[in-house]
């Protein structure tokens, strides 16, 4: 079974940094897209960043480009998200997710992107104070 366990959330002041980690099991990184999503109160879940399993390409949501960095360690089956220059608008529950990858690459940047991803971990709360 695919399992995803996220950790590393917390409370931080605006301008600060946090690093999220996700331990994955039950699948091969080369065959899956893996990524981070977030959901703020009253808002739709949105994509933050993802990595293509087949070629390592990285994709980011427009609101986090230049501030967040996604990385993975296949040997350790972990996914990380380094979040710098945090803003109050980054406050959300962050989820680690995985999806079997087809020949077109990760499902990203399309309408209702989260709907197309198959596997989800429990979220971790990130709160950025102003």
**Radius of gyration (C-alpha) of the chain in whole angstroms:** 14
Q: Assess whether pLDDT exceeds 90 at residue 110.
A: no
> Under a CB-based contact definition with an 8 Å cutoff, are residues 67 and 85 in contact?
yes
C-alpha distances (whole Å) from 86 to each of 9, 47, 64, 118 are 12, 16, 9, 28
- Mean pLDDT in residue range 2-30: 97
The per-residue pLDDT for range 35-47, each reduced to its tens digit, is 999 999 999 999 9
- Over residues 55-81, the pLDDT tens digits come to 999 999 999 999 999 999 999 999 999
104 has a pLDDT exceeding 90: no
> Above 90 in pLDDT, residue 51?
yes
Q: Is the pLDDT of residue 5 over 90?
A: yes
Pairwise CA distance, residues 78 & 76, whole Å? 5
In 3D space, the residue among 18, 41, 23 whose CA is nearest the CA of residue 93 turns out to be 41
Q: Check residue 57 and give its pLDDT.
A: 96
């Amino acid at each position: 079974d695919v399992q995803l366990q996220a950790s590393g959330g917390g409370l931080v002041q605006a301008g600060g940094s946090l690093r999220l980690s996700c331990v994955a099991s039950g699948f091969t990184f080369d065959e899956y897209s893996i990524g981070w999503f977030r959901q703020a109160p009253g808002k739709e879940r949105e994509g933050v960043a993802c990595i293509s399993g087949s070629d390592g390409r990285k994709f980011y949501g427009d609101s986090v480009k230049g501030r967040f960095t996604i990385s993975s360690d296949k040997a350790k089956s972990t996914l990380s998200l380094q979040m710098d220059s945090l803003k109050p608008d980054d406050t959300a529950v962050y989820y680690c997710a995985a999806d079997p990858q087809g020949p077109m690459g990760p499902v990203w940047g399309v309408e209702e992107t989260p709907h197309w991803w198959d596997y989800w971990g429990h979220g971790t709360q990130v709160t950025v104070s102003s």
